[in-house]
């Protein structure tokens, strides 16, 4: 059997389960997920290495009608990650109607990857409809959902899945593998993401706050790892800053208004304490030695709509 390898863009409206599916396929958390839309803000590439194939799964921000400059940047990012992929997984949730948002995405895919012909073969690369969250429907409802989606898109394939219950994940995996061209392994076996360690840590911190704060969290949270300081490079001259020889990971957390700072910090800094505790093990693993997070909450007024500020935050 020839080795296969390539890139799969995972697209869909906000909150349809893109990041959750990628984590489930890769088998560990590389992308953050949450119940609120616009969770993903970067096109994170997860790497799935098998005996016979290597897939790079490109997680994308949910495609939506942008209301802020950040929203616009997120959509642009999807455009970028859609260029030069070998297949597209278009996610549609089983628990929602197919709507105008899906039509917009389909139109966009057709303009770039359609051959101008009708039907299943009318695509330049395989476009696979992945029907997510099937644990939320009974069998009968699922069947009519599948028929509805089949008629909606004339997709190359259609496959139902529940990432949460691990139902049909193997089938999704093998469909994606079949969609890949023959090609060599591109990354070493142990590599599961293409992100820089700083970026992965920043994402994990943002994810931990999303979980910790639940509905209180301002949507306008941005996290940047400013520097990673190893003990032998620490020139602060003050031994009391770092008595334990741990790697210091200096992090800025930006909100848009002064009033949001106490929400992030919590009573007696409880949220900061919880987030650090939750991330101790994953951060140690990413850095490769004992590390400590130093979290600084800052205000950057109106950053979601300010080009300069967005640039500074990496958008
Ligand atoms: N019941 C059920 N819920 C799911 C499933 N997959 C994801 N979810 C939930 O759907 C919500 C959104 O999941 P995400 O993976 O963050 O969705 P996303 O498409 O990456 O969202 P954005 O990054 O904001 O575009 C989370 O609350 C998940 O727990 C599933 O298979 N079943
Ligand atoms: Mg996501």
Q: Which of 116, 147, 179 is the last residue of a domain?
A: 179
- Strand ranges of the sheet holding 247-255, from the earlier edge strand across to the other edge: 222-229, 247-255, 291-299
For residue 137, the model assigns a pLDDT of: 95
In terms of domains, do 65 and 169 share one?
yes
- The atom of ligand 1 lying closest to the CA of 132 is 31
Q: Which ligand has an atom closest to residue 90 CA?
A: 1
Tell me the residue range of the domain where 97 lies. 4-179
Beta strands at 53-59 and 45-49: parallel, antiparallel or unpaired = antiparallel
For residue 140, the model assigns a pLDDT of: 96
The candidate with the shortest Cα–Cα distance to 114, out of 100, 125, 105, is: 125
In terms of domains, do 173 and 210 share one?
no
For residue 296, the model assigns a pLDDT of: 96
Distance 15 CA to ligand 1 centre (A): 5
Identify whether 189 is part of a domain. Answer: no
- The atom of ligand 1 lying closest to the CA of 35 is 27
Q: Whose CA is nearest to atom 16 of ligand 1?
A: 33
Match 């993903």 to its residue by tokens: 40
The one-digit pLDDT tens for each residue of the chain (315 residues) are 899 999 999 999 989 999 999 989 988 777 788 777 777 777 788 999 999 999 999 988 887 777 788 888 888 878 887 888 999 999 999 999 999 999 999 998 998 899 877 777 789 999 999 999 999 999 999 999 999 999 999 999 999 999 999 999 999 999 999 999 999 999 988 788 888 889 889 988 998 998 888 766 666 789 999 999 998 776 665 555 555 689 999 999 999 889 999 999 999 999 999 999 999 988 887 788 899 999 999 998 888 888 888 888 877
Identify whether 191 is part of a domain. Answer: no
Distance 185 CA to ligand 1 centre (A): 30
For residue 242, the model assigns a pLDDT of: 55
Q: Which of 179, 209, 241 is the last residue of a domain?
A: 179
**Token pair in block for residue 225:** 């790892």
Q: Are 123 and 115 in contact (CB under 8 A)?
A: yes
In terms of domains, do 267 and 120 share one?
no
pTM above 0.75, yes or no: yes
Ligand 1 mutation target, pool 10, 12, 17, most atoms within 8 A of CB: 17
The CATH number assigned to the domain holding 157 equals 3.40.50.300
For residue 69, the model assigns a pLDDT of: 84
Cα 179 to Cα 163: distance, rounded to the nearest angstrom? 20
For residue 102, the model assigns a pLDDT of: 94
Ligand 1 mutation target, pool 12, 33, 38, 43, most atoms within 8 A of CB: 33
For residue 27, the model assigns a pLDDT of: 84
For residue 282, the model assigns a pLDDT of: 81
In terms of domains, do 34 and 96 share one?
yes
Identify whether 185 is part of a domain. Answer: no
Q: Whose CA is nearest to atom 13 of ligand 1?
A: 17
Cα 114 to Cα 104: distance, rounded to the nearest angstrom? 14
Identify whether 188 is part of a domain. Answer: no
For residue 148, the model assigns a pLDDT of: 95
For residue 219, the model assigns a pLDDT of: 66
Ligand 1 mutation target, pool 11, 12, 20, most atoms within 8 A of CB: 20
Distance 302 CA to ligand 1 centre (A): 28
Give the number of domains in the chain.
Answer: 2
In terms of domains, do 29 and 103 share one?
yes
The answer for residues whose C-beta is within 8 angstroms of residue 113's C-beta and 6 or more apart is 88, 123, 124, 125, 127
Q: Whose CA is nearest to atom 11 of ligand 1?
A: 35
Residue ranges with CB less than 5 Å from ion ligand 2? 18-19, 39-40
Q: Which ligand has an atom closest to residue 63 CA?
A: 1
In terms of domains, do 20 and 160 share one?
yes
Ligand 1 mutation target, pool 10, 14, 15, 37, most atoms within 8 A of CB: 15
Distance 48 CA to ligand 2 centre (A): 17
In terms of domains, do 12 and 141 share one?
yes
The CATH number assigned to the domain holding 292 equals 3.30.300.20
Q: Which of 122, 151, 179 is the last residue of a domain?
A: 179
For residue 240, the model assigns a pLDDT of: 57
* Protein residues with CB under 6 Å of any ligand 1 atom: 12, 14-20, 33-35, 37-40, 61-62, 132-133, 135-136, 162-164
Identify whether 184 is part of a domain. Answer: no
In terms of domains, do 146 and 230 share one?
no
Q: Whose CA is nearest to atom 4 of ligand 1?
A: 133
> What's CA 66's distance to the chain center, in Å?
18
For residue 243, the model assigns a pLDDT of: 58
In terms of domains, do 27 and 133 share one?
yes
Distance 234 CA to ligand 2 centre (A): 36
In terms of domains, do 174 and 283 share one?
no
For residue 175, the model assigns a pLDDT of: 97
Q: Are 252 and 202 in contact (CB under 8 A)?
A: no
In terms of domains, do 30 and 173 share one?
yes
**Token pair in block for residue 187:** 């990354």
In terms of domains, do 157 and 27 share one?
yes
For residue 17, the model assigns a pLDDT of: 96
């Amino acid at each position: 059997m020839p080795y296969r390898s390539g890139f799969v863009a995972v697209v869909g409206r906000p909150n349809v389960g893109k990041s959750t599916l990628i984590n489930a396929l890769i088998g560990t958390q590389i992308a953050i997920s949450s119940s609120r839309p616009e969770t993903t803000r970067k096109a994170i590439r997860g790497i799935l290495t098998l005996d016979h194939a290597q897939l790079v799964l490109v997680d994308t921000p949910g495609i939506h009608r942008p209301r802020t400059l950040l929203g616009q940047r997120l959509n642009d990012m999807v455009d970028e990650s859609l260029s030069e992929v070998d297949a597209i997984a278009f996610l549609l949730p089983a628990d929602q109607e197919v709507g105008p948002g899906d039509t917009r995405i389909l139109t966009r895919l057709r303009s770039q990857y359609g051959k101008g012909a009708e039907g299943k073969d009318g695509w330049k690369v395989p476009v696979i409809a992945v029907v997510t969250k099937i644990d939320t429907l009974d069998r009968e409802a699922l069947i009519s959902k599948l028929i509805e989606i089949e008629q909606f898109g004339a997709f190359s394939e259609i496959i139902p899945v529940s990432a949460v219950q691990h139902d049909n994940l193997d089938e999704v995996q093998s469909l994606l593998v079949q969609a890949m061209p023959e090609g060599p392994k591109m990354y070493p076996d142990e590599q599961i993401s293409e992100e820089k360690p700083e970026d992965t840590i920043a994402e994990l911190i943002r994810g931990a706050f999303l979980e910790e704060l639940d509905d209180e969290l301002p949507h306008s949270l941005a996290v940047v790892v400013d520097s990673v300081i190893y003990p032998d490079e620490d020139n602060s001259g003050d031994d009391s800053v770092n008595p334990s020889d741990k790697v210091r990971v200096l992090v800025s957390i930006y909100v848009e208004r002064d009033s949001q700072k106490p929400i992030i910090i919590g009573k007696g800094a409880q949220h900061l304490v919880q987030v650090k505790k939750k991330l101790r093990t994953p951060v140690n693993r990413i850095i490769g030695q004992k590390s400590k997070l130093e979290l600084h909450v800052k205000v950057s007024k109106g950053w979601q709509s300010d080009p300069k500020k967005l640039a500074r935050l990496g958008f």
